[in-house]
């Protein structure tokens, strides 16, 4: 991990984490989710729930995910989703 | 009720139809992907026949499956067509499944070759099966393709697809070329497939819905867009793929369609305007979903179709073109497709219109059986004296109206569907029971919400057993979609008076936990 990544990590908004975790918990019944857990690989987010999660992220944070933004890695953990949403919200301002 | 047409045109094979079309449209774009790879019909034909020659030199032959392990890609399509040109049926394997499961499937199927490419993981194969790497096979300069003789007949196998089996091992369904041709010819005619059409391939090729996604396009001289591996998780990627490639035919399982429709707003709807048909199968299609569909799409522009069929009868055997109005209480699975019969039976008896019974299927779409499992084949594919034909007993319950419309009412056993994927809970249970530290177990589904379903394993372990070790064993033996999400160590399993495990009680206790 390089310095820029570290800097990004410190800027993430805990409120975004809470909202994403709350959404996933409400749909899966699982309360404790490690923010670095790969939510696709752990089976927490299947392809169907992934579509719901993407819909939630766009609506909740009022952002538009473009085709250029898409990669499995970008949305693979709560922490990475947070980084992405934070960056996207900042660039929208 | 059997509709018969075009028996004569069924006298061909999947690869022969492709070659005939490629000769007619050699310069037309056949296939493309998101990485910008495109291939014309002519180019694809050359690659597929070259690969076919290389595979035949290595021992590919009629009716002996050749396995394939590749991510969804243009290479995958070359691989599948190449296997068919070699004369063998293809046997698709999940690249993300554990090595042990894929090897088990290859051995159950008696495959002698396994096709991979440089980006696939290497499998630890037994001596009976030899690995062939696509790039190496294609680079052999000494193979001609013009003289590749057709060796397979319409009665030979086109593919073998494995589905969950209750005994602890999956079972391989053997489909002949003539069955696949019938299913595809019928669909081409019913939905007027034309050269301007574009299909999208997004279903994993280990499930048989992929069969029409992979082959139908060339029956009408149309083209195919292959969605990159993993991108089916992103609604944005699906919308963009449709828009960029003017996709006109697309498939969804109903629960996926539902969440996809929740995503799309007016701009996305505009991007989806090239869609002519959205085909659903794999689960019941509800009236609410159909209403939601037509609140967004107009019937004149984009239509919704409901398909039904088990892997054992070549993808789909009934169809219902869903109207935009007067949907009634339930959406039927519809009427039988060409050269196929649907019957409602109760054992040896054929039931009357309106009675509920087991759905049985007859006709050309029926599989040859389960590979290397004659006893299991004879159990499910039987000659029914009342009908006077060989039938496949689906285990699905349904009823037929006087005008031949069939309604589906669920299962008569422990088979479940998780996101359209058919799973025998018994397969998971029997696999767990093979572990020396599992004394007893019962696996149930825990439906957290309409879209989130967990597989929960209740296990009675032997003394000093390590549950983590059992979890790792399951993970290394089962594909992800069948691996239990949760394990509960219990001291006893609730039983009904009959001695059978009380699954209902287990499901409710799973909810509490």
Mean pLDDT throughout A31-60? 87
Q: Is-contact B66 B86, C-beta < 8 A?
A: yes
Q: Is-contact B19 B226, C-beta < 8 A?
A: no
- Which CATH number do you get for residue B467? 3.30.300.30
Contact between B233 and A55 using a beta-carbon 8 Å cutoff: no
Contact between A65 and B232 using a beta-carbon 8 Å cutoff: no
- To the nearest whole Å, the CA of B481 is away from the closest chain A CA by 8
On whether both B144 and B270 belong to a single domain, the answer is yes
pLDDT for B321 beyond 80: yes
Structure confidence at residue B125 (pLDDT): 78
Number of domains in chain B: 3
| Separation of CA B383 from chain center | 25
On whether both B257 and B393 belong to a single domain, the answer is no
Partners of residue B370 on adjacent β-strands:
B173
Q: What mean pLDDT value characterizes chain B?
A: 92
Mean pLDDT throughout B433-446? 92
Residue at which a domain ends, from B391, B411, B431: B411
Determine the Cα–Cα distance for residues B86 and B13; give it in Å rounded to an integer.
Answer: 12
Which range among A79-93, B51-65, B162-176, B251-265 shows the weakest confidence by mean pLDDT? A79-93
Partners of residue B307 on adjacent β-strands:
B319
Which 3 state secondary structure label does DSSP give B18?
helix
Contact between B236 and A67 using a beta-carbon 8 Å cutoff: yes
pLDDT for B103 beyond 60: yes
Q: State the DSSP code for B285.
A: P
Find the CB nearest B480 among A43, A67, A69.
A43
In a domain, B224, yes or no: yes
- To the nearest whole Å, the CA of A32 is away from the closest chain B CA by 14
On whether both B380 and B237 belong to a single domain, the answer is no
Find the CB nearest B419 among A40, A48, A72.
A48
Which residues are CB-contacts of B494 (< 8 A; sequence separation ≥ 6)? B501, B502, B505, B506, B509
Determine the Cα–Cα distance for residues B217 and B317; give it in Å rounded to an integer.
Answer: 19
Q: State the DSSP code for A82.
A: H
Structure confidence at residue A93 (pLDDT): 57
Mean pLDDT throughout B435-453? 86
Mean pLDDT throughout B309-319? 97
Give A44's Cβ-side CA count (13 Å radius): 25
**Res. B144 pLDDT band, cuts 50 70 90:** low
pLDDT for B89 beyond 50: yes
User: Under an 8 Å CB criterion, which residues of B touch A?
Assistant: 230-237, 240, 255-256, 259-260, 262-263, 419, 448-449, 451-452, 454, 480-481, 483, 485
Considering Cα of B267, then B268, then B269, then B272, what sign does the dihedral take?
A: positive
Structure confidence at residue B7 (pLDDT): 56
Determine the Cα–Cα distance for residues B47 and B145; give it in Å rounded to an integer.
Answer: 9
In a domain, B279, yes or no: yes
Q: B105 to each of B178, B292, B347, B380, B456, how far by Cα in Å?
A: 24, 40, 32, 20, 25
Structure confidence at residue B141 (pLDDT): 65
| Separation of CA B341 from chain center | 21
Place of tokens 């422990």: B414
Q: State the DSSP code for B334.
A: B
On whether both B346 and B400 belong to a single domain, the answer is yes
Find the CB nearest A51 among B259, B452, B481.
B259
DSSP notation for B461-498: EPTT--HHHHHHHHHTTS-GGGS-SEEEE-S---B-TT
In a domain, B329, yes or no: no
Structure confidence at residue B123 (pLDDT): 75
Core vs surface per residue B37-51: b (16+ CB within 10 A) or e: eebbbebbbbbbbbb
On whether both B300 and B158 belong to a single domain, the answer is yes
- Which CATH number do you get for residue B74? 3.40.50.12780
Q: B281 to each of A8, B63, B326, how far by Cα in Å?
A: 44, 28, 21
- Which CATH number do you get for residue B358? 2.30.38.10
- To the nearest whole Å, the CA of B258 is away from the closest chain A CA by 9
User: Under an 8 Å CB criterion, which residues of A touch B?
Assistant: 27-29, 40, 43, 46-52, 54-55, 58, 65-67, 69-70, 72
Q: Which of A39, A43, A48, A50 to mutate to test the interface with B (most CBs of B within 10 A)?
A: A48
Closest CA in chain B for residue A73: B230
Closest CA in chain B for residue A43: B485
Mean pLDDT throughout B421-436? 93
On whether both B128 and B215 belong to a single domain, the answer is yes
Determine the Cα–Cα distance for residues B106 and B92; give it in Å rounded to an integer.
Answer: 10
In a domain, B330, yes or no: no
Which 3 state secondary structure label does DSSP give B51?
helix
Q: Using a CB-CB distance cutoff of 8 angstroms, which residues of chain B are in contact with residue A33?
A: none
Place of tokens 């496949």: B392
Determine the Cα–Cα distance for residues B82 and B76; give it in Å rounded to an integer.
Answer: 10
pLDDT for B278 beyond 90: yes
Q: Using a CB-CB distance cutoff of 8 angstroms, which residues of chain A are in contact with residue B481?
A: 46
Q: Using a CB-CB distance cutoff of 8 angstroms, which residues of chain A are in contact with residue B450?
A: none
Name the residue range of residue B211's domain.
8-322
- To the nearest whole Å, the CA of B321 is away from the closest chain A CA by 24
Place of tokens 């999400």: B485
Q: Is-contact B229 A21, C-beta < 8 A?
A: no
Determine the Cα–Cα distance for residues B117 and B136; give it in Å rounded to an integer.
Answer: 9
Contact between A54 and B230 using a beta-carbon 8 Å cutoff: no
On whether both B72 and B186 belong to a single domain, the answer is yes
Q: Using a CB-CB distance cutoff of 8 angstroms, which residues of chain A are in contact with residue B480?
A: 43
Place of tokens 């007016």: B266
Alpha helices in chain A (DSSP H): 3-11, 14-28, 47-60, 78-92
On whether both B174 and B275 belong to a single domain, the answer is yes
- To the nearest whole Å, the CA of A75 is away from the closest chain B CA by 10
Which 3 state secondary structure label does DSSP give B228?
coil
In a domain, B498, yes or no: yes
Mean pLDDT throughout B19-35? 95
Q: Which of B236, B241, B244, B420 to mutate to test the interface with A (most CBs of A within 10 A)?
A: B236
Contact between A51 and B230 using a beta-carbon 8 Å cutoff: no
Which residues are CB-contacts of B28 (< 8 A; sequence separation ≥ 6)? B40, B41, B195, B221, B223
Which of B39 and B492 is assigned the larger pLDDT?
B39
User: What percent of chain B is modeled with pLDDT above 70?
Assistant: 96
Structure confidence at residue B114 (pLDDT): 96
Q: Using a CB-CB distance cutoff of 8 angstroms, which residues of chain A are in contact with residue B449?
A: 27
Contact between B483 and A43 using a beta-carbon 8 Å cutoff: yes
- To the nearest whole Å, the CA of A2 is away from the closest chain B CA by 27
**Res. A42 pLDDT band, cuts 50 70 90:** confident
On whether both B164 and B98 belong to a single domain, the answer is yes
Determine the Cα–Cα distance for residues A32 and A37; give it in Å rounded to an integer.
Answer: 11
On whether both B102 and B211 belong to a single domain, the answer is yes
In a domain, B332, yes or no: no
Structure confidence at residue B448 (pLDDT): 75
Determine the Cα–Cα distance for residues B174 and B65; give it in Å rounded to an integer.
Answer: 10
Contact between A27 and B230 using a beta-carbon 8 Å cutoff: no
Q: State the DSSP code for B96.
A: T
Q: Is-contact B289 B305, C-beta < 8 A?
A: no
On whether both B227 and B122 belong to a single domain, the answer is yes
Find the CB nearest A66 among B236, B448, B451.
B236
Structure confidence at residue A7 (pLDDT): 45
On whether both B457 and B488 belong to a single domain, the answer is yes
Task: Find, among B261, B260, B109, the residue nearest to A48 by Cα.
Answer: B260
In a domain, B149, yes or no: yes
Q: Is-contact B341 B147, C-beta < 8 A?
A: no
Place of tokens 């594909």: B479
Asked whether the ipTM of the predicted complex exceeds the cut of 0.90, the reply is no
Q: How do beta strands B171-176 and B369-370 pair?
A: antiparallel
Which residues are CB-contacts of B342 (< 8 A; sequence separation ≥ 6)? B1, B317, B318, B335, B336, B359, B360, B361, B362, B400, B404, B406
Structure confidence at residue B124 (pLDDT): 76
Considering Cα of B1, then B219, then B172, then B444, what sign does the dihedral take?
A: negative
* Residue A54 burial (C-beta neighbours within 10 Å; 0-12, 13-18, 19+): buried
Alpha helices in B246-301 (DSSP H): 254-263, 266-271, 287-296
Residue ranges covered by each domain of chain A: 45-93
């Amino acid at each position: 991990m390089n310095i820029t990544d570290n800097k990004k990590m410190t800027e993430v908004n805990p409120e975004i984490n809470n909202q994403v975790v709350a959404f996933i918990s409400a749909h899966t019944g699982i309360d404790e989710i490690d923010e670095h857990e790969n939510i696709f690989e752990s089976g927490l987010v299947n392809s169907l729930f992934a579509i719901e999660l993407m819909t939630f992220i766009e609506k909740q944070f009022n952002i538009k995910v473009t085709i250029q933004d898409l990669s499995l890695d970008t949305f693979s953990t709560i922490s990475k989703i947070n980084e992405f949403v934070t960056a996207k919200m900042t660039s929208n301002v | 009720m059997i509709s018969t047409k075009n028996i004569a045109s069924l006298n061909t094979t999947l690869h022969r139809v492709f070659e005939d079309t490629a000769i007619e449209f050699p310069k037309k774009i056949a296939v493309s992907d998101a990485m910008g790879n495109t291939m014309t019909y002519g180019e694809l034909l050359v690659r597929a026949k070259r690969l076919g020659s290389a595979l035949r030199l290595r021992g590919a032959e009629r009716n002996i499956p050749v396995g394939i392990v590749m991510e969804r890609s243009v290479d995958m399509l070359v691989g599948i067509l190449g296997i068919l040109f070699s004369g063998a049926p293809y046997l698709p394997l999940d690249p993300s499944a554990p090595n042990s499961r894929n090897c088990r499937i290859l051995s159950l199927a008696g495959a002698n070759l396994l096709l991979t490419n440089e980006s696939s993981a290497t499998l630890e194969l037994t001596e009976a099966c030899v690995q062939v790497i696509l790039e190496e096979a294609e680079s052999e300069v000494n193979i001609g393709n013009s003289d590749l003789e057709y060796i397979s007949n319409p009665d030979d196998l086109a593919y073998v697809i494995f589905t969950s089996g209750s005994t602890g091992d999956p079972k391989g369904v053997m489909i002949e070329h003539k069955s696949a041709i019938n299913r595809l010819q019928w669909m081409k005619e019913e939905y007027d497939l034309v050269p301007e059409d574009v299909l999208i391939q997004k279903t994993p090729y280990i499930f048989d819905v992929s069969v029409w996604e992979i082959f139908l396009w060339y029956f009408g001289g149309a083209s195919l867009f292959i969605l990159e591996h993993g991108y089916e998780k992103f609604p944005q990627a699906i919308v963009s793929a449709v828009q960029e490639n003017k996709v006109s035919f697309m498939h969804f399982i109903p629960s996926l369609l539902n969440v996809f429709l929740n995503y799309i707003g007016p701009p996305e709807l505009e991007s989806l305007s090239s869609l002519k048909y959205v085909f659903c199968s794999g689960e019941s299609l509800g009236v609410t979903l159909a209403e939601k569909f037509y609140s967004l799409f107009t019937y004149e522009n984009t239509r919704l179709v409901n398909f039904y069929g088990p892997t054992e009868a070549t993808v789909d055997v009934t169809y219902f073109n869903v109207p935009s109005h007067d949907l009634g209480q339930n959406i039927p699975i519809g009427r039988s497709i060409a050269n196929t019969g649907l019957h409602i039976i109760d054992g040896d008896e054929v039931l009357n219109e309106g009675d509920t019974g087991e759905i049985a299927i007859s006709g050309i779409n029926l599989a040859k059986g389960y590979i290397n499992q004659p006893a299991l084949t004879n159990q499910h594919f039987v000659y029914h004296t009342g009908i006077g034909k060989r039938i496949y007993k689906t285990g699905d319950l349904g009823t037929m109206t006087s005008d031949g419309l069939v309604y589906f009412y669920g299962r008569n056993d422990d088979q479940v569907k998780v996101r359209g994927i058919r799973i025998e809970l018994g397969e998971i249970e029997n696999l767990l029971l093979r572990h020396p530290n599992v004394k007893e177990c019962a696996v149930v589904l825990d439906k957290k919400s309409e879209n989130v379903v967990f597989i929960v394993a209740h296990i009675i372990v032997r003394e000093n057993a390590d549950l983590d070790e059992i979890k790792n064993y399951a993970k290394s033996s089962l594909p992800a979609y069948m691996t239990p999400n949760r394990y509960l160590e219990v001291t006893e399993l609730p039983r009904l008076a009959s001695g059978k495990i009380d699954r209902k009680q287990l499901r409710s206790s799973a909810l509490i936990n």
